[in-house]
Chains A and B, each alone.
Chain A
Amino acid sequence: MILFDTVTKLYASQTHPALEDVSLEIEKGEFVFLVGPSGSGKSTFLRLVLREERPASGNVWVLGKDLSRLSNWKIPTLRREIGTVFQDFRLLPNKSVFENVAFALEVIGKPKALIKKVVPEVLEVVGLEGKEHRRPDELSGGEQQRVAIARAFVNRPKMLIADEPTGNLDPGTSVGIMKLLDRINRMGTTVVMSTHDAQIVDQMRRRVIELENGHVVRDQSRGVYGYVR
């Protein structure tokens, strides 16, 4: 699914590399937590997977493709296979729940009939049936994140990348979101999630990759958040 081979990423404005010599592999169907303090390189890792950034050295392989050899016009095809969810939901405020999810299919040219069929299905998966016509500002934070997950998942991607998806939610709501992500993972989708939420990591007992100053300092299957917080 994802293979990092001695990847180093250096931002032009910084002297210290955001990632240094990172090598790791994430298998198909895994659920992986990416933990570490702010600035440890979690976001850079995810941006490299999405090819929003290119590494200074080393190779990134995603879904069997060497991203350094992927030409620009093929990037959209790669991103259609990867769903993305963010801390700030990134919904369109002037579109309804249905339209927000449908948007992801419209802009990749899917026919209207298909959209009418699959959007209600995915809204049911995330537990938003009956709220199709609400606007994002009429929903709670947890519900908004469910819309974002529905949008990321509606095209049935092979991988879901979640950048602190529970960062803006209270603990109770977060549990619901984690149950949803777990369900999506059990449907066969690889999930990579960066988080600061120790409680969630400790409860889920999945693989944990800890980054610090751009290095992988821990990679545990069935791990916990960490010894110190």
Chain B
Amino acid sequence: MRAEFVASEVGNGLRRNLTMTLAVIITVAVSLSLFGVSLLVRAQVDTMKDFWYDKVEVSIFLCAKGSDTPSCAGGAVTSGQRDQIEADLESLRPLVQDIYYESQAEAFVRFQEQFSSSPIADSVNESALPESFRVKLADPTQYDVVASAFSGRPGIEQVNDQRQVLDKFFQLLGGLQAIALIIAVVMLVVTVLLVANTMRVAAFSRRRETSIMRLVGASNLYIQLPFLLEAAVSAGIGAILAVGGLVLAKSVIIDQVLAPSFQFTSFVGWDAVVGIAPILILVGIGLSGIAAFLTLRKYLRV
């Protein structure tokens, strides 16, 4: 096998068929960019889940003066009820990992901090805020156990799971990821069809060469390799462009735009980009190689 000969054939082929080569490069770049974005969004959701699920807690708000849920009909929570609730929570270990009691005074301080720039802070006094147990679960998905044990008990105003709020947000992100993935798959199908057609055109425009190659006894590999490499090279260029796009998205959109404005959460790191890049290159070269191989088998038969 003479590498030099094959390389020059590949170069000639790519140049002669420049418009098709560019079309393949662009579709591969666009479809793989979308594919990469959808993978990146998934990595982002995973990162955020790791970050938030560690921090989410179940809040058990106790009745304060003026609470109007039926379980608070007896007025503010009594110390007996409070002790009983705490004892029951303790009995739920090890599912319950940490129990933290927040008094009305502490709730008031936190409220003041959270709304320090808002006029609401001044309109609320300490006795209107409920005291609460903040419970951290060993397994955040076991929220129902806590909810069913405490909801509606006298002295408890409300049982609140922060995770449910987060899950709505993650569902939204998951939806975006699914849309990006669907578009990516459609674009990849387009890419495969385009590569197949490009190979058909290339095989046709070089039918003189290939028929002579067949006659003088060139092996199938020798005849097909330049075509396969052409498909792989243009797909490879497209994939590298897609990786470049992903790097740009990470360094500009995430690091410079999103991260400074949303400091309360963490964002995907470069390790995610490094993990996705080889997948994009493999998928790009693999798909286009398979498409080319299957097409050539039909058009360059012995």
Q: Which residues of A contact B (CB under 8 A)?
A: 50, 72-73, 75-82, 84, 90, 92, 103-104, 106-112, 151-152, 155
Within 8 A of A (CB), among B177-233: 208-209, 211-220, 222-223
- The answer, yes or no, to whether B302 is at the interface (CB within 8 Å) is yes
B202 to chain A minimum Cβ distance, whole angstroms, is: 16
For A78, list chain B residues within 8 Å (CB). 217
| Contact in complex: A155, B216 (CB < 8 Å) | yes
For A76, list chain B residues within 8 Å (CB). 214, 217-220, 302
Most chain B CB within a 10 A radius of its CB, from A77, A109, A151: A109
A92 to B5, CA, bound (A): 16
A106 to B211, CA, bound (A): 15
| Contact in complex: A103, B212 (CB < 8 Å) | yes
Contact among B2, B208, B217 for A79, CB-based, below 8 A: B217
- The answer, yes or no, to whether B1 is at the interface (CB within 8 Å) is yes
A79 touching B212 in the complex, CB below 8 Å, given contacts A109-B1, A111-B2: no
A78's closest neighbor in chain B, by CB?
B217
For A90, list chain B residues within 8 Å (CB). 208, 211-212, 215
A80 to B219, CA, bound (A): 10
Contact among B4, B214, B215, B217 for A77, CB-based, below 8 A: B217
Within 8 A of A (CB), among B1-24: 1-2, 4-5
| Contact in complex: A107, B302 (CB < 8 Å) | no
For B211, list chain A residues within 8 Å (CB). 90
B163 to chain A minimum Cβ distance, whole angstroms, is: 61
B137 to chain A minimum Cβ distance, whole angstroms, is: 64
25 A-B pairs in the complex with CB atoms less than 8 angstroms apart: A75-B217, A75-B302, A76-B217, A76-B218, A76-B219, A76-B220, A77-B217, A79-B214, A80-B217, A81-B217, A90-B212, A92-B212, A103-B209, A104-B212, A107-B212, A107-B213, A107-B223, A108-B219, A108-B222, A109-B2, A109-B222, A110-B2, A111-B2, A151-B212, A151-B216
A137 to chain B minimum Cβ distance, whole angstroms, is: 14
For B215, list chain A residues within 8 Å (CB). 50, 79, 84, 90
For B302, list chain A residues within 8 Å (CB). 72, 75-76
| Contact in complex: A106, B2 (CB < 8 Å) | yes
B121 to chain A minimum Cβ distance, whole angstroms, is: 82
| Contact in complex: A79, B209 (CB < 8 Å) | no
Given A106-B2, A152-B216, output 4 extra A-B contacts at Cβ < 8 Å: A78-B217, A79-B214, A92-B209, A151-B216
Contact among B5, B214, B219 for A106, CB-based, below 8 A: B5
A111's closest neighbor in chain B, by CB?
B2
A111 to B222, CA, bound (A): 14
A95 to B291, CA, bound (A): 30
List the 8 closest A-B pairs by CB distance, nearest first: A80-B217, A79-B217, A107-B218, A104-B216, A76-B217, A107-B213, A76-B219, A106-B5
Majority SS of interface residues in chain B? Answer: helix
A93's closest neighbor in chain B, by CB?
B208
| Contact in complex: B222, A79 (CB < 8 Å) | no
Contact among B208, B217, B220 for A108, CB-based, below 8 A: B217
For A72, list chain B residues within 8 Å (CB). 220, 302
A72 to B222, CA, bound (A): 14
For B222, list chain A residues within 8 Å (CB). 107-109
A56 to chain B minimum Cβ distance, whole angstroms, is: 19
A80 touching B216 in the complex, CB below 8 Å, given contacts A75-B302, A109-B2, A112-B2: yes
For A73, list chain B residues within 8 Å (CB). 219-220
A192 to chain B minimum Cβ distance, whole angstroms, is: 15
A104's closest neighbor in chain B, by CB?
B216
A151 to B223, CA, bound (A): 18
A107 touching B216 in the complex, CB below 8 Å, given contacts A76-B302, A90-B211: yes
For A109, list chain B residues within 8 Å (CB). 1-2, 222
A177 to B216, CA, bound (A): 20
For A155, list chain B residues within 8 Å (CB). 216-217
A97 to chain B minimum Cβ distance, whole angstroms, is: 15
For A81, list chain B residues within 8 Å (CB). 217
B82 to chain A minimum Cβ distance, whole angstroms, is: 84
A56 to B214, CA, bound (A): 23
A185 to B4, CA, bound (A): 35
A107 to chain B minimum Cβ distance, whole angstroms, is: 4
A182 to chain B minimum Cβ distance, whole angstroms, is: 23
A154 to chain B minimum Cβ distance, whole angstroms, is: 9
For A103, list chain B residues within 8 Å (CB). 209, 212, 216
For A50, list chain B residues within 8 Å (CB). 215
A126 to chain B minimum Cβ distance, whole angstroms, is: 16
A166 to chain B minimum Cβ distance, whole angstroms, is: 19
A105's closest neighbor in chain B, by CB?
B216
